[in-house]
Structure 1
Amino acid sequence: MNELNIRLNSDANTFAPGQTVEGTISWKLDEDPQKLTLALHWYTQSGAVKQSGMADSIELERPAGNGSKDFSFEIPQGPYSFQGRLLSLNWVLELAPLPGIDLVRQPITVSPMGGRGVLIDK
């Protein structure tokens, strides 16, 4: 059975632009993967067009089937996390082996104010 984990060094999962998110990834896979990718990216959720963007990533070429690695990403200047009735923007750290269908996500919030923005429709 495959296991993928992302552990943050901090209990907080909200980061301001310019701050660093640090942690450790670990994996126990039935077979050695060709590649293991940890990506910091954002995506939108809406009823219409979906968008996404990658801020940074780490790729491990031909890692052993079991292992761990520390990581560090600087949070970019934007876009900020927000939630509205029609559109939300979310940030995640995503760990995925190749080949494979397994992946794990660790949600984070990117905000200059220390919390997720909320769009209010009056």
Structure 2
Amino acid sequence: MQSTGKATLLIVPGLRGEAPQHWQSLLAAEVPGARTIPPMNENGLSCAARVAAIEGAMAAIAGPVILVAHSAGVLMVAHWAALGTPASRRVAGAREVLAAQEQHAVGQQGAADGGRA
């Protein structure tokens, strides 16, 4: 692996994985060199397996990485980052992307508990 110095986009989908017209698939097709963590199947809903998939993807990428995580993928990235592996030091940026309904639910919860969530 030789680093080009440019950051690689790594997309971490939520539980439902990919669909041809989903924004994750469109983004991956639009950004040269972007990679996507393979979707989980119903028998693979394991936090440890998902964290291992993120670590494996990071190990296969040379240079800086920008993580884009959606829905449950955000939680998996948080679990992975908490491990503090050497690969986590190559994260140049991260963005969590929630669907509008999820953002609304998070906002409602924040209002309900005084913003302490």
Question: How does the TM-score come out when normalised to structure 2?
Answer: 0.30
Instruction: Kindly name which structure, 1 or 2, has the bigger radius of gyration based on alpha carbons.
Output: 1
Question: How does the TM-score come out when normalised to structure 1?
Answer: 0.29
Identify, as 1 or 2, the structure richer in strand: 1
